[in-house]
Amino acid sequence: MTEQDNSLFWEGNAMRCPYCTNLESKVVDSRPSDEGASIRRRRECLVCHKRFTTYETMESLPLVVIKKDGSRQSFEKGKMLNGMVRACEKRPVPFAVLQDMADEIEQTLQTAMEREVDSSYIGELVMERLKGVDEVAYVRFASVYRQFKDISTFMDELNKLLKEK
């Protein structure tokens, strides 16, 4: 259904019945959907008594990432998750753990209420979480993220990690 088609059923704050277009309905059942990301509501029209389902979701504001070169692009959790998966390749880190980390980072970014965020901040959030899950994955991610130029910068990072232990 297109947005224009959808507007046939919305008027102000009221939801029109898709069968008789009446504006009066009552909520019969309401439950979380999409792991709590939305609410599914079963409604009953007060005129024709037919039931229909609506979904209520929280609108999230778009998040823009400022890259190292100054360019801007939309935040994509999938890209961040792919980087984490690559860092954890052949490591005993369950994918569900990485998904939870990505969700947590996205939530952190959304609640910060900043609409633009530096990619370096996102990278630091990823490294902070990877360090607690798998040190090898952390070093792999850091080597790409921090663009280690030679073995000495790589060793510096390893030494920092060892000092923290």
**Edge-first strand listing for the sheet containing 72-74:** 72-74, 64-66, 116-118
Residue with tokens 């998966």: 85
Q: Give the number of other Cβ atoms within 10 Å of residue 98's Cβ.
A: 24
**Tens-digit pLDDT profile for the chain (165 aa)?**
333 344 444 444 577 899 999 999 999 999 988 777 789 999 999 999 999 998 888 766 789 999 989 999 999 999 999 999 999 999 999 999 999 999 999 989 988 878 899 999 999 999 999 988 998 898 888 888 777 777 777 777 777 777 877
Q: Rounded to two decimals, what is the model's pTM? A: 0.60
Domain boundaries, the chain: 3-57, 64-164
Give the alpha-carbon dihedral of 6, 7, 9, 11, to 10 degrees.
150
**Nearest by Cα to 125 from 143, 109, 146, 147:** 109
